[in-house]
Amino acid sequence: MAPHFLELLLFATYAELRAERARSYLGLLWWLIEPAMNMAVYYLVFARILHAGGDDYVAFLLVGLTLWQWFKSSVSHGGHAIWIQLGLVRQVKLPVRLFPAVQVLADTVKFLYILGVLFGILWLMGYAPNPAYLALPVVLLIELVFAAGAAYLVAATVPFVPDLRFVIEQVLQVLMFLSGVVFALDVVPEPLRRWFALNPIVVLIDAGRGILLHARWPDASALLRAGAISLALYALGVWLIARLTPRYVKLPT
């Protein structure tokens, strides 16, 4: 990543976060309240009404939802970024991939606040820090690359078919229930488990739970596979945006 692009990315992300905080009366608190409300709804439905899971289901669900929400927000917000900024794309010569990258990085900053709160909740519940925490940055880095790659692919195509953004929201909703957010990977029948494991987010959520709840080191081969898929997706997204950039300036705003 070129230094010029990195400087633009950091400055634009800072400006985006400040603007978002200024638009809300609750400011920084809203970054925590919104995911907390989502977690409360899923806990009510799955733990209280459907009686899913066991005694540790609350912690299980918190970890899964925290990691999933980061991915979902990054893809949803980043996927709309080029389409929303088409007017600016036509007026200012900037790297077009900057727009989805800003949204992904902004959602990552908000995720880190939420992750800090998650640590505190888990520690209060008795899930103490453990040596496997050393592997957590690797898990989070792979998820960041995967989320950025998915956001780039969506962002590259939405300007040509704006209604696709509604389809993406529905796809993400379905994908949540196929990504191990509300169930453990080991409950999936063995023939299907290998297919589920091709989805990096399934592997990453499972690895995150293993680290935070069971002091278990992630499966290195599974992380390597998830990392390779994520890098390939990221490279494809960067290439597609670069390939389509000359066509964006011709689109109506």
For helices 164-177 and 57-84, the axis angle rounded to 10 degrees is: 170
Residue range 37-84, pLDDT digits in tens:
777 777 777 666 766 666 688 889 889 989 999 999 999 999 999 999
Distances (CA, A) of 52 to 4, 35, 55, 163: 49, 20, 10, 36
DSSP string, 73-102: HHHHHHHHHHHHTHHHHHHS---TTHHHHH
| Interval 108-137: pLDDT, tens | 999 998 899 899 989 998 999 999 999 999
How much is the pTM?
A: 0.90
Taking the C-alpha atoms of residue 128 and residue 123, their distance in angstroms, rounded to an integer, is 5
CA atoms in the 13 A half-sphere facing the CB of 163: 0
Instruction: Give the model confidence (pLDDT) of 19-34 as tens digits.
Output: 877 666 665 666 677 7
